A and B are shown apart, each in its own frame.
Chain A
Amino acid sequence: MAQLIIFATLIALGYFFGKLAESRHYQSIKQREAELLELPTTSSKQPMGEAPVMKSHLVQGSVVISVDYFKRIVAGLRSFFGGSVQSYETLLDRARREAIVRLKESCPQADQIINLRLETSSISKGEGNNVGSVEVLAYGTAIYFAEQG
């Protein structure tokens, strides 16, 4: 019985604090994405448009986000029955967007970012197959056009 109570408490804590952290993070992401909207970003290998390029360099942004207890339990139940693991979807969505936002923030003066790539890796806590945290790395090339005139 004590085990069940501890379990329920952990789940409740994970749920409420996880939800809080998630909604605050999403607010921050949406706000910064809106600010950086002016910086075009593509996965193409060529710069968009015909303007001469003055300089270019590698840029990257990365973030590590951890899973909370509630998400882990729900994912465990999912592994029993199969289907889309909703609880991890928001986790990865946030991580991807945060990584891209950080990449853009690292080069505010750039005119374009091309060749955008994303890499995801799991940082397991050593507890078998459980994913402890997830790291997303976004990298690309920042392009600066030559000044006209």
Chain B
Amino acid sequence: MPEHNDNVSHEHPFKEFVILAVGLSVVVAVIFVVLGLLVDFAVDKVTPELEAKLFSGMSFEQVPLTDDDPMQAQLQTLTDGLMACMDVGYPVRVQVAESDEVNAFAFVGGKIVVYRGLLDAVNTESGLAFVLAHELAHFIHRDHLRGMGRGLVLATLSALMTGADSGISQLLAPAQSIGMARFSRQQESAADAAALKALNCRYGEVTGATELFEVLQASKGESEFKLAYLLASHPSLGDRIAELNKLATELGYRSKD
């Protein structure tokens, strides 16, 4: 009987797994970093005119949008007024979505969607103006394009190489959201700061800038859930309020709050 089995490798199987997994993680990390740089480079080359041409035809299917909401005209006027202080580069349309969620989105091509829930939660004009200015800031910083770019390229690469529902693609999906979440939080803080400045430019004061966050904070009891924000794409409400107040003081903005 042969003592040594020549038909199998005698490396420890776990060692093989560790080496391959670490190798794959390194490759993915490198690709992610390079992709990030490439996306940033490409995004800077997409001028607002080009973006308007490419994307203004896209529509937002998930929640019913309405054009005859009574608030819509007011929102559009507010937005147009803010654009005097913020140069987006193309006309921006505002629409209301019929949903109780408190949220607002900026979409490629120049569309802002505000949820009815948010309109019900915020009572002052300047509070609304802050939200709109925040979304306009995303357009100016080209954040919406960046978010689309990285996620799309990584998902496509993974799907091309291993199949869309393979184990590897599923594995890459949560890792993607960790990296992208931190990217988005920086963008959110930058958008908050730009919105504060726009508010001051338009109204001469920044009353109402933190209204939305304070309303949300009161209703959610947010301090217990700090940990959830690690993977959430926004900084925590408390942090956002604190940052805005600090910035307002630094820049010498007046507020009645």
Instruction: Write the residues of chain A forming the contact surface with B, with a CB cutoff of 8 angstroms.
Output: 1, 3-4, 7, 11, 15, 19, 30, 33-34, 37, 70-74, 76-81, 84, 86-87, 89-90, 93, 96, 128
A86-B9, A86-B11, A86-B16 known; A7 vs B171 contact (CB < 8 Å): yes
Closest chain-A Cβ to B179's Cβ sits at a distance in Å of: 14
A84-B9, A86-B13, A87-B13 known; A77 vs B174 contact (CB < 8 Å): no
A80-B161, A89-B9 known; A33 vs B17 contact (CB < 8 Å): no
B160 close to chain A: CB less than 8 A = no
Nearest B residue to A26, CB-CB = B5
B186 close to chain A: CB less than 8 A = no
Interface of A is mostly: helix
| Residues of A with C-beta under 8 A to B165 | 128
| C-alpha gap A81/B27 in the complex (Å) | 11
6 pairs of residues in contact across A and B, judged by CB atoms under 8 Å: A3-B174, A74-B13, A77-B24, A80-B168, A81-B24, A89-B9
A1-B231, A86-B8, A89-B8 known; A76 vs B170 contact (CB < 8 Å): no
| Residues of B with C-beta under 8 A to A3 | 170, 173-174
Closest chain-A Cβ to B137's Cβ sits at a distance in Å of: 30
A3-B174, A37-B1, A89-B9 known; A80 vs B17 contact (CB < 8 Å): no
The A-contacting residues of B in range 70-124, CB under 8 angstroms, are: none
B204 close to chain A: CB less than 8 A = no
The 10 closest A-B pairs by CB, nearest first: A77-B20, A86-B9, A93-B7, A89-B8, A90-B8, A74-B17, A93-B8, A3-B174, A86-B16, A76-B167
In contact, B1 and A33 (Cβ under 8 angstroms): yes
Give the interface residue-count category, chain B: 20 to 34
| C-alpha gap A70/B13 in the complex (Å) | 9
Nearest B residue to A80, CB-CB = B24
In contact, B9 and A77 (Cβ under 8 angstroms): no
Closest chain-B Cβ to A117's Cβ sits at a distance in Å of: 17
B225 close to chain A: CB less than 8 A = no
| Residues of B with C-beta under 8 A to A86 | 8-9, 11, 13, 16
Nearest A residue to B13, CB-CB = A87
In contact, A77 and B21 (Cβ under 8 angstroms): yes
The A-contacting residues of B in range 1-30, CB under 8 angstroms, are: 1, 5, 7-9, 11, 13-14, 16-17, 20-21, 23-24
Closest chain-A Cβ to B10's Cβ sits at a distance in Å of: 9
Closest chain-A Cβ to B171's Cβ sits at a distance in Å of: 7
| Residues of A with C-beta under 8 A to B5 | 93
Nearest A residue to B167, CB-CB = A76
| Residues of A with C-beta under 8 A to B168 | 76-77, 80
Closest chain-B Cβ to A1's Cβ sits at a distance in Å of: 7
Residues 161-186 of B, flagged 1 when their CB comes within 8 A of A and 0 if not, give 11101111011011000000000000
| Residues of B with C-beta under 8 A to A33 | 1
| Residues of A with C-beta under 8 A to B17 | 11, 15, 70, 73-74, 77
